[in-house]
Amino acid sequence: MISVFAVEGLPEIRTGDDLGAIIANAYPLLSGDVVVIAHKTVSKAEGRIVALADVEPSDRAHALCGPDTDARQIEVILGETTRVVRSRGGLVIAETRHGFVCASAGVDRSNADPGTVILLPVDSDASARAIRETVAREADVQVAVIITDSFGRPFRRGTTDVAIGVAGLDPLRDLRGSLDRSGRALRSTQIALADEIAAAADLTRTGKADGLPVVIVRGVPFDGDGSASALVMPADRDLFR
């Protein structure tokens, strides 16, 4: 039995808050829990917020801009981008410094204060590790931590939450070498465990307006350690670059 539930009663997070300590004191966590955190809360704690009034859009930002987009926001996106993968009408699909391919390099206005945008954490794996260590210290439990964002996908409509930062579990469950029910070796199966946990956690949110950024997923067996960078497809194996 797996249980998935949001942590209620968290305060609004502000820059400089110790998110790990706040989480550790908000709910009686158990060792083996996976603590799933929407990245915007982490980004706010880390001050990854930009006021658009301070941004001067470049020629490139103007060129990528669409009729309904703010060139200053495109400029912020380009600052977070190592490669523009696709663009159309103000929508920029970008590769981030972390190696993730996503809309707007993760830069988003929703749930941001007016006139500001929220960026992804600089190093979301490091953010996850720091929160995990704080929780261990404050609550004396060994949890895994997953930081999430909502990504669109090629070929399929709708977003799903995925892992952009991981600590305390191996984000890929490797079935290679195990046998199926017919005794046949499974040759190439790796399950993106951390992404499936991220998706499960998002099910507790009936809408973004509900604002419950921290979700506990309890009862999923996991082991090892790793980082969300392990979920990035290497260029030489990616048929869609």
Which residues form the interface with its own copies (CB under 8 A)? 1-5, 86, 88, 91, 93, 100-101, 109-114, 150, 153-162, 171-173, 175, 178-182, 184, 186, 189-193, 195-197, 199-200, 202-204, 206-209, 211, 217, 220-221, 230-234, 238-240
For 4, 36, 167, 179, the CA distances from 142, given in Å and listed in that order, are 18, 14, 11, 31
CB 137 to its own copies: min, Å: 28
CB 122 to its own copies: min, Å: 20
d(Cα 227, Cα 164) in Å, to the nearest integer? 9
- Please say which residue, 130 or 212, places its beta carbon nearer to its own copies: 212
d(Cα 22, Cα 147) in Å, to the nearest integer? 16
CB 143 to its own copies: min, Å: 16
Q: Which residues pair with 95 in a beta bridge?
A: 83, 101
Question: H/E element holding 153?
Answer: strand 144-153
Q: At what angle do helices 124-139 and 19-26 cross, to 10 degrees?
A: 40
Q: Which residues pair with 86 in a beta bridge?
A: 93
Quote the tokens at residue 144.
């895994």
- Please say which residue, 5 or 82, places its beta carbon nearer to its own copies: 5
The amino acid that residue 181 corresponds to is R
Which residue, among 60, 31, 8, 24, has the nearest Cα to 204 in the 3D structure?
A: 8
- Please say which residue, 21 or 232, places its beta carbon nearer to its own copies: 232
- Please say which residue, 141 or 175, places its beta carbon nearer to its own copies: 175
CB 150 to its own copies: min, Å: 7
CB 63 to its own copies: min, Å: 17
Q: Helix (H, G, I), strand (E, B), or coil: what is residue 215?
A: strand
CB 178 to its own copies: min, Å: 5
- Please say which residue, 106 or 134, places its beta carbon nearer to its own copies: 106
How many Cα atoms occupy the beta-carbon half-sphere of 205 within 13 Å?
21
- Please say which residue, 33 or 130, places its beta carbon nearer to its own copies: 33
